[in-house]
Structure 1
């Protein structure tokens, strides 16, 4: 509990707010940079026809997406602060509001899709939860294999096992994820009779309610994306763990402990392994966005209902508000991942708890 109340964590929590605010400004600015978007293109097409119904549709689109307002005003509405650009704000002046038109990202409303005019929250549905589930499974898979294999390779440096594991690690880093996905789909379908395209079987895919049968069906399918996304990361993390542990084993405190007769296994896991985990754990913050964005092609190959393909489709169709909301989801996952890694580092490394510099 003392670690949770540590000022180090308080500083990290305070930094989260301006970080997300800056990311929202960058995301909204970037999605406005390309010349045109889906709505602008649609309005040009409707204007060419000159039909009264089409002209009314143009006015509806302009009103729905506030196209005649300034960029700052649209940003404040998207964020959920419409009063920010209003001289005389109506209604609640701050966070809570019952008016759906005034709700934005701060109130959990991700806006509307330009292409379908549907709320982004409905389009996303369970995609965020499934994306987090796959990402957590991939991180767990990476840790379960990378940590023990990296420790073995460092302790048995230049042994036959070390050479074999290093060679397999290079292969894992070089094999494209989509190729491994196709291979596992074939093996699972031909050898085990389990089709793994998508995350659910046909009888559960359209079922909105969650029950134990649907969860078990998800577990039958989810192992393929976890393995595919985890292989490349595991290979890289093995090299990081091996290099960090080799560096720790050469430090004076390890030599001194060995000279005093400390048992090798006890010495290994009490200090060097814990210290070698620091850079390993620091990478958690960047893993969530990397798994989502880097796994978009794999998700499309496996027909996975995750955030990655949705964001890629939104960018290709110039659905800017949907793409911007997905970018903010990735930013939030990255910030939360960084906070989790900071908590783990605070627990593992006494130098951070005591505020002493690393030597």
Structure 2
């Protein structure tokens, strides 16, 4: 097992390097750079001529190193990550990218993990329930709800929730983690409640698609398992139905769910990103969006690199979890 983990980590190094190269190429595809955005800003807001704006943009481009060849910029960026743990310098925020990500990563992971946990538990429980009632009224209702949850755009749900919070429930502060009186206050149960009151829409929206998917996957897998011979044998021996389901059928039906966990966290981060951008919660989502708009390449590249690392780590954890869940699975 240890050799398998070491091999996976060794391969992950080259995989992350490949992801970094592709991410760098993708974020360089739009025409222009941050200095071009700055030039446009000067002409629209600064009231200066195009020649003056271009001259200032060229000076800024030279100052930030954007006039260097692309391979040189990428080499300096990836070398800083490997040797110093630094993701570069943000042109728009004029701060270290690592500090910007660190400030928001904790809250982002809390919201994404909360959405993931709720969607997994609810989806599995509902999937087990409806699988035992194939084609019943509850099964059909759950299927329709799952289809709707998987189809409705997250941004639209976020807009509806914003409207309800503002005009129905008169909530005045929806674009922050806390109300003004709790921003600098020490942690307490009241502050935790205020945090939940501000962030539940993001968790709810990010988890909707996960509930639908987990329910459908669990239902389908459990129905397949219930039709196998060893389940029929267990029933013929007189075992209680609940024991047959929970002890014999469900563990084997969980394999695809566990394997899916390797990619679910970036998926939840994506759902959190869409909701946070619309609602305005200061997580990694709005930061990533603004970096793409401003062509702040080091923030965009750093976040894509982190997402890739989460997928690699998640896949490794899911593979190890499968070996624990099913003793028949062994890695050499």
TM-score of the aligned structures, taking structure 1 as reference length: 0.79
Correspondent of 2:84 among 107, 113, 122 = 107
1:32 equivalent in alignment to 2:25: no
On the 8 A contact 2:87/2:302 being kept in 1, the answer is yes
Q: Distance in 1 between matches of 2:96 and 2:252?
A: 47
Shift of 1:39: 2.3
The answer to whether 1:211 aligns with 2:187 is yes
Picking from 23, 26, 30, the partner of 2:19 is 23
CA distance in 2, matches of 1:305, 1:258: 53
Task: Describe the shift of the 1:217–1:34 C-alpha distance in structure 2 as closer, same or farther (beyond 3 A).
Answer: same
Q: Which residue of 2 aligns with 1:201?
A: 179
Over the aligned positions, Cα root-mean-square deviation in angstroms equals: 2.9
Tell me, in whole angstroms, the C-alpha distance in 2 between the residues paired with 1:139 and 1:335.
17
User: Structure 1: any 5+ residue segments left out of the alignment?
Assistant: 81-102
User: Does the Cα contact within 8 Å between 1:248 and 1:276 map onto a contact in 2?
Assistant: yes
Corresponding residue of 1:240: 217
Matched with 1:84 is none
Render the CA deviation track for 1:335-355: whole Å, top value 9, x for unaligned. Answer: 222223223212112221377
Q: Which residue of 1 aligns with 2:70?
A: 71
Which residue in 2 is equivalent to 1:348? 325
> Following TM superposition, by how much is the alpha carbon of 1:251 offset from its aligned partner in structure 2, in angstroms?
1.4
Shift of 1:191: 6.3
8 A Cα contact 1:196 1:224, kept in partner: no
**Alignment counterpart, residue 156 of structure 1, candidates 125, 133, 137:** 133
- Give 1:48's match in structure 2, choosing from 47, 51, 64: 51
Q: Which has the higher helix share?
A: 2
CA distance in 1, matches of 2:180, 2:164: 20
In structure 2, how many angstroms separate the alpha carbons of the residues matched to 1:60 and 1:180? 41
Residue 290 (str. 1) matches residue 290 (str. 2):
no
- The answer to which of 258-267 and 223-232 deviates more is 258-267
Q: Is the counterpart of residue 177 in structure 1 residue 154 in structure 2?
A: yes
